[in-house]
Amino acid sequence: MNKSLPTFARPEGGALTAEMLAAYEDAGVIILTDFVSADACAALRQRTLELIDDFDPSTVDTVFSTQTDEHQADEYFIGSGDKIRFFLEDGAVDDTGQLRAAKEDCLNKIGHAMHDLDPVFDAFSRTPELANAARSIGFKDPAIIQSMYIFKSPRIGGEVVCHQDSAYIYTEPESCVGFWFALEDATIDNGCMHFIPGGHESPLRKRNHRYADGSILDEVLDETPFPMHLRQPAEAPAGSLVIFDGRAPHMSGPNRSEKSRHAYTLHVIDRSCHYPADNWLQRGDDLPLRGFDN
């Protein structure tokens, strides 16, 4: 029988209780409702609208496809590890090069260093509650290596196929954990994430490498298929935090509804682990990694 995903109200102070920790370690994922306030979500959305206002899509020729690797040869994408850059959805641009909908509704995501470069994102990403949550799941020296604002726009937001984040944010030993915030209600209808409970205890299937010639390719480590029939929806009301292990297999369907599904996500690694130079995501020496503390 399928197990639903563990869901709890936000723990006081942010640190997971023993019961929550056991559930997280069992499933590889936990949903904590009411972790951030409606005001904090609204402030992040408002700041994002301002950033979008300043974004001129005609200066960018990139489409982020979650189903193919089209974006992977693109310097605009590869060089975004220490920048704030904007990625359009597949199909958002028509044959004449015009956007099919409002700018906000044509974006797939913004990434990958807002948490270090923008004061509003910085404040959202670094709170005592988050620091406590990270410490409680075992981080000794957490470092936020990536942030993404994900739009999942009505009718346009695309599918994300099943994957493990440690394939892309690989450390030795593995330490990647995702901190995913629902800025709006995430439901089955508008393309919430799905997880395979316990799948984090199965092998890492792929490792993504960035090669000297600029190409980015997946190395297959294990061909065991993901047991997709066990997947469970991670429906999450606005304000929820979903914490998930870097090996946890997850995916999301397309958004065929009329409602957007904005989310903000942080990826965290432990600084004591080795971060390979051939991970695609790199940052310059002028933007050193920081943790959750201000």
Q: Give the interface with Fe ion as residue ranges (CB under 5 A).
A: 165
- On whether the CB atoms of residues 232 and 19 are closer than 8 A, the answer is no
Indicate the residue among 86 and 244 with the shorter CB distance to Fe ion: 244
Q: For the CB of residue 80, give the shortest distance to Fe ion in the complex, in Å.
A: 16
CB of 163 to Fe ion, least distance (A): 6
Q: How far is the CB of 116 from Fe ion (least distance, A)?
A: 20
124 vs 195, beta carbon nearer Fe ion: 195
Cis-peptide, bond into residue 233, ω within 30° of zero: no
Distance CA 74, CA 121 (A): 25
DSSP class of residue 213 equals T
- Report whether 6 contacts 24 (CB < 8 A): yes
User: Which lies closer to Fe ion via its Cβ, residue 62 or residue 166?
Assistant: 166
Distance CA 278, CA 241 (A): 30
Residues 147 and 238 sit within 8 Å (Cβ to Cβ): no
Smallest gap from Cβ 27 to Fe ion, in A, equals: 16
CB of residue 250 to Fe ion, shortest distance in Å: 6
First-residue to last-residue Cα distance in the chain: 44
- Select 85 or 247, whichever has its Cβ closest to Fe ion: 247
For Fe ion, give the closer residue by CB, 116 or 165.
165
**Least distance (Å) from Fe ion to the CB of residue 97?**
30
Provide, rounded to whole angstroms, the least separation between the CB of residue 18 and Fe ion: 27
Position closest to Fe ion via CB:
165
Nearer to Fe ion, 57 or 111 (CB): 111
Contact indicator for 193, 252 with CB cutoff of 8 Å: yes
Say if residues 101 and 92 touch (Cβ distance below 8 Å): yes
Cβ-based nearer residue to Fe ion, 47 or 242: 242
> What per-residue string of b and e applies to 231-261 under the rule 16 or more CB within 10 Å gives b?
bbbbbbebbbbbbbbbbbbbbbbebebebbb
User: 185: closest CA among 237, 149, 234, 235?
Assistant: 237
| DSSP for residue 190 | T
